[in-house]
Structure 1
Amino acid sequence: MTTKKLLLQACKDNVEKRITDYKNEMALINEAIETNDKESEDEDSGNGKLLNDLEKNAGYLNEAIRIRDFLLQINANNVCNTAVLGSVVETESVTFYISTSVGQIEIENKTYYAISLQSPIGQLLRGKTKGDRFTFNDKNYTIISIL
């Protein structure tokens, strides 16, 4: 499997884990709400915070599903000379994978940073080519290669 395919799979795995975690959390909250309702009968069940937590997790779940769908748009076989969605951008000190903001990924003993095009550094990288320079957080970078 190519590096780009491994990176894309790592991002997909990360998002799938988040989706599973949010669903599990929501199931636990629903169970707690049902338990409170059974125990409280006519009294206030105190479910307000639980309902708030349920709503928050539903929002997180929807966002994770949106990201999963977004990742389906990335073609790991795409070759481009400019930094675009799905590109691996290597600088002299850091290698970025333009996909979604997952953070650090270890593949074949090398560290990559999965970033979004919408992130501040993603905005700086967009459209750059080999040899281009950019500055982020007072640090200068030169693009060595783009896969």
Structure 2
Amino acid sequence: MNLKEQLLQACYGYVNKRIASYKGEIETIKESIDSNDKSNNEGDDSGSGKLFNDLELNAQYLNDANKMLDTLKMINSKTVNTDVVLGSLVKTTSNNFFMSISMGKIDIEDVTYFGISLNAPIGQLLKNKVVGDAITFNENTFTITEIK
């Protein structure tokens, strides 16, 4: 498995874990709402409003995680890029980035990479850049040394 495949698998693992967690939370909330409705005949809210808010919030998180999954499905780990696009592995003078989803730190074989979205602020700066281009982010300037 090449490095991009390993990074992509790490991203899939992250997203699938989030999806499973949100689905589990939604089921728990639905069960709580059902049991709350059955035990409550007085018309008293007894926390149902908060449960419905939590349900809506988790449904939104699940939707966002599914969008991340859709983004990952567009990445071909075998494609070699000459400019920074979705799926690019970008090495710079200070950090290594995998242009995918906003995941944060990914450690593979004692090397740290950052899974970032093209829509993130640093992703926007890197987008369409080529080897040798420099960007400044948070008052730090770094140069792209390699793109895969």
TM-score between the two structures when normalised by the length of structure 1: 0.97
The runs of 5 or more residues in structure 1 that have no matched partner are: none
Q: How does 1:63-142 map to 2 (within 5 A)?
A: 63-142=64-143
Question: Matches of 1:134 and 1:58 in 2, distance apart?
Answer: 37
What is the Cα deviation at residue 124 of structure 1?
A: 0.6
Amino acid at match of 1:16: N
Amino acid at match of 1:110: V
Segment drifting more, 41-50 vs 88-97: 41-50
Question: Matches of 2:121 and 2:133 in 1, distance apart?
Answer: 17
The runs of 5 or more residues in structure 2 that have no matched partner are: none
Could you list the structure 1 runs, at least 4 aligned residues long, displaced by more than 6 angstroms after superposition: none
Give CA-to-partner distance per residue, 1:30-55, whole Å, 9 cap, x none: 11111111211233243011001001
The residue number in structure 1 matching 2:24 is 24
Aligned-partner SS, 2:107:
strand
Aligned-partner SS, 1:40:
coil
Question: Matches of 1:91 and 1:66 in 2, distance apart?
Answer: 28
Aligned-partner SS, 1:49:
helix
The residue number in structure 2 matching 1:7 is 7
The residue number in structure 2 matching 1:34 is 34
Question: Matches of 1:61 and 1:113 in 2, distance apart?
Answer: 22
The residue number in structure 2 matching 1:62 is 63
Amino acid at match of 2:116: I
Percent identity at matched positions? 50
RMSD: 0.9
What is the Cα deviation at residue 138 of structure 1?
A: 0.1
> Contact conserved, 1:37 with 1:45, CA < 8 A, in 2?
no
Question: Matches of 1:118 and 1:63 in 2, distance apart?
Answer: 14
